[in-house]
Structure formats: C-alpha cells, structure tokens
Amino acid sequence: LEALERVLVRARQGDTEALSMLYNQFLHGIFGYIAMRVPDRATAEDLTSEVFLQMVEGIHRLRANDEAGFTAWLLCIARVAVAGYYRQREKQPTQVPLPDESWDHTKTERLMISASSPESDPVYWTEAREDWLTVVQAINALTEEQRQVLVGRLILGYDVATVARIIGKKVNAVKALQFRALQSLQRLLGNQQSLAHAHQRRKEEIR
C-alpha cells in the first residue's frame, strides 16, 4: 500500500486518484463520527458530504503531512459541521420527526419491503429510532476529546499512539479518555439497554 504521506502529497497537487484513496480510507470514520452525533441518517449523510467537499476545496492549503495530522484536520471539519448543524437547528422551530424520517430507508422504500420483515413494523422503527437517539444523546454528552478517542480507536481502528498524536495527548491520557468515555456511555445508556436493543434488532435482521 502506498504510504498515506505520499498519497497526501499527490492529493495536494490535485491528483484525482489520491483524493479517491483518501476518501475511501476516511469515509467510514468520518461518517461514524457524524452518525454518532446526529439523530438521523439523512443528516449524517449531508454533513459527511459537506466534510468531504470541504476536504477537496481545502486540501491544497493543508500543512499536515502525516496521517495523524490529516485525520485531526478531517475530524475538525466534521466537528465544525456538526456544531453548525446544531446551531442551525436551535434557530429553527422545533420539528417533530415523522416515522418516515428514521434511519436507513425512506417511507416509499419501506412500503415496498415484505410484510414479513420486521422492518415493515412501524413500532420497530420507532423503537429503533428512539433507541439510537438515546445513544446519540449519550455520545453528545461526552467531551470532544472522548468522542475523538472513540472514533479513532473503535471506528478508524488506530492504535493508542496514533490517536494520541491526532488529539495531541500522551498515550496514557488517551487510555484514560477511552476508559472514561466508555464508562460514561455505559452510565448514560442505563446499562447498555438502548444499545442492546438496537443491537438485538440488528441480529434479528441478519437472521
């Protein structure tokens, strides 16, 4: 595999293939970071699009030349995008989301799904949405550093040292942040009930 440093150099010079490589490597992590912070998939996809379009527009100005620096930059863009989303939402009148705004599928798509599928059950979707909203609220209650550690370790799969470079902390501090983040989540989620419910439904889907 080509070192990310070289890919970064090529991307800065406007190489399309390098940009695609960066996109494919970081899409999962950035989407995960955003998805764990916003209540619905459509918003997560919109904000993810915003992040990668900003990456394309600003990469030639980027000074970071290693993976940690680039990841930190992308996460920073994502954090600002999410913050912008919540600021915007505060200004708008409160909207009650309809069942068809939930994760994964539109209303039309859902109507086409077999009645035998659990996804056809509105109660299922409502519960799933409410369960994930609980998760999102719990994650939003964490500190930004704790969130970035969770993304770096659990979604992007980086080791502790790399995450330490991304957030500018020492290794032990990252381990402590990781522990406190999961501990807080456990407490906020009420012994993992919401996540377990969501997880259980996922297992049923697979079966």
Partner 1 sequence: MKPLHDRLNDRLEHIELRNWQNGHHPSDFMLQEPRHEGDPEVDALVVLARRLRVAPHMQVDKDFAGRLERRMLHRHTELQLQRTNEKRSFFFQFRTLPAFGVALCLCLIMLVLGAGVLALAAHISDPNNQLYALKRWEQHLQVSLTNNAGDQAFLDLQIARDRLNTLSDLTDPAHTVAYSQALADIDQQLQTATAAINGLPTGTQRQQLASKLSGLKSDAIHILRNLLPKLTLSERLATTGELTHLGDNVPLLINGMLILPPHPHGRATISLSGSDLQPGAQLLVDGKPAGVTGLLQNGRLIFVVVNWKGEQHPRSLGLIDPDGTAVQTTAITIETANGNTTSKSNHNGQGNSHQPTTTPDTPQNGQSSCPGLPDAQELASKYQLSADSQGAAVLAICALHRGTFKATTSNGTTVTASRVYGYGEIDQLLTYAQYLASQDATNPGGKLSDTNVSSYLAEALLNCGSTPLATCLQTHIPNYQPGNGTGQGNGHQPTATPTPHH
Please report whether residue 81 would count as binding partner 1 according to CB under 8 A: no
Could you tell me how far CA 128 lies from the centroid of its own chain?
Answer: 18
Least distance (Å) between residue 91 CB and partner 1: 26
Q: Distance between CA 74 and CA 150 in Å, rounded?
A: 15
Using CB under 8 A, pick the residue from 62, 64, 72, 155 that binds partner 1.
155
Measured distance CA(69)–CA(100) in Å, rounded: 39
Q: State the Cα–Cα distance between residues 127 and 123, nearest whole angstrom.
A: 6
154 part of the interface to partner 1, by CB under 8 A: yes
Contact at 8 Å (CB) between 128 and 194? Answer: no
Q: Give the x/- contact pattern for partner 1 in 185-204, rule: CB under 8 A.
A: xx--x--x--xx-xx--x--
Torsion angle, alpha carbons of 120, 122, 125, 129, to 10: 160
Residues that bind partner 1 (CB under 8 A): 14, 16, 19-20, 23-24, 27-28, 31-32, 35-36, 41, 45, 48-49, 52-53, 55-57, 60, 103-104, 132, 135, 150, 153-155, 157-160, 172, 175-176, 178-180, 182-183, 185-186, 189, 192, 195-196, 198-199, 202, 205-206
